[in-house]
């Protein structure tokens, strides 16, 4: 059963979710024991069953928390009737905000690996929830902005794929961060490194928009 209303976390339950988010993301679901989670949350193993029913229940709760945090970001404020240039500027700033979150925010360091694990596990319940509540609506909104910026149809195949490609670059930099940092010779990701990545992605965004613009 999925709780539709995301509640603000507090107490032992919240500590368990935070611990689960961190450990599930770092070691995977099967790779994390309930005792390990309880230890990190500084509570007893039985608390998991008490608050969430089971280990699976905790995992579902963690996915809901991820959806909650993701919704907090990437919510652009769109003026009522944006011009093409305005739409492009909104896409640019939203993409940069997303880059800052994914690459530097402490909240993302727990959230991002967790989502990565979800993706690899195929379409289970947690993934379906995350898709319906965050991914699909955001992607649809981006498609609308893309259409306004380029003049193309919002839900055409090329538009949807172009938006995926634009976001995909960013997601890849987060997913492949271990690879990227090694190749770039970076010790860790700071504001400067995140800025360089954001510039690259933003430049590609503008080039792609310019290219698919209809006269």
Partner DNA sequence: CAGTATTGATCAATCGTTTGATTAAATCAA
Partner DNA sequence: TTGATTTAATCAAACGATTGATCAATACTG
Provide the binding-site residues for DNA, judged by CB under 7 A.
11-13, 30, 32-36, 43-51, 54-56
215 class by beta-carbon count within 10 Å (0-12 exposed, 13-18 middle, 19+ buried): exposed
Shortest distance, CB of residue 35 to DNA, whole angstroms? 5
CA dist 69 and 153 (Å) reads 30
Tell me the angle at which helices 136-150 and 157-175 cross, rounded to the nearest 10 degrees: 120
Q: Which does 164 bind (CB under 5 to 8 A by kind): DNA, its own copies, none?
A: its own copies
For the CB of residue 167, give the shortest distance to its own copies in the complex, in Å.
8
| Distance separating alpha carbons of residues 82 and 67, to the nearest angstrom | 28
Q: How far is the CB of 128 from DNA (least distance, A)?
A: 20
Closest to DNA by CB, 18 vs 86, is: 18
Which partner from the list DNA, its own copies, none does 71 bind, CB cut-off 5 to 8 Å by kind?
none
Among its own copies, DNA, none, the one that 211 touches (CB under a kind-dependent 5 to 8 A) is its own copies
Cα dihedral sign, 68-69-73-77: positive
Residue 14 or 97: which CB sits closer to DNA? 14
- Alpha-carbon distance 194 to 142, whole Å? 22
Minimum gap (Å) between residue 151 Cβ and DNA: 52
Q: Which is nearer to DNA, 13 or 113 (CB)?
A: 13
- Residue 68 interacts, among its own copies, DNA, none and using kind-specific CB cut-offs from 5 to 8 Å, with none
Q: How far is the CB of 169 from its own copies (least distance, A)?
A: 5
First-last CA distance in the chain: 50
* Residues within the interface to its own copies (CB under 8 A): 25-31, 113, 116-117, 119-123, 127, 131, 135-136, 139, 157-158, 160-162, 164-165, 167-169, 171-173, 175-176, 178-180, 182-184, 196-197, 200-201, 203-204, 206-208, 210-212
Q: CB–CB of 110/17 below 8 Å?
A: no
Residue partners of 84: CB distance under 8 A and separation at least 6: 148, 149, 150, 151, 213
């Amino acid at each position: 059963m999925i709780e539709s209303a995301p509640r603000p976390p507090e107490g032992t339950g919240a500590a368990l979710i935070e611990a689960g988010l961190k450990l599930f993301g770092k070691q995977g679901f099967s790779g994390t024991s309930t005792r390990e989670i309880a230890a990190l949350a500084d509570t007893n193993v039985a608390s998991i069953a008490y608050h969430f029913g089971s280990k699976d229940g905790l995992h579902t709760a963690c996915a809901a928390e991820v959806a909650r945090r993701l919704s907090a970001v990437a919510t652009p404020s769109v003026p009522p009737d944006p011009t093409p240039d305005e739409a492009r500027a909104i896409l640019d700033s939203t993409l940069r905000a997303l880059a800052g979150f994914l690459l530097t925010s402490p909240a993302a360091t727990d959230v991002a690996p967790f989502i990565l694990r979800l993706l690899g596990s195929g379409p289970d319940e947690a993934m379906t929830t995350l898709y319906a509540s965050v991914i699909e609506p955001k992607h649809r909104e981006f498609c609308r902005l893309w259409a306004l910026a380029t003049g193309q149809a919002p839900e055409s195949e090329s538009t949807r794929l172009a938006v995926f490609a634009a976001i995909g670059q960013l997601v890849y930099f987060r997913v492949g961060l271990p690879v990227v940092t090694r190749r770039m010779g970076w010790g860790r990701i700071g504001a400067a490194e995140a800025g360089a990545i954001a510039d690259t992605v933003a430049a590609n965004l503008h080039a792609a928009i310019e290219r698919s613009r209809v006269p």
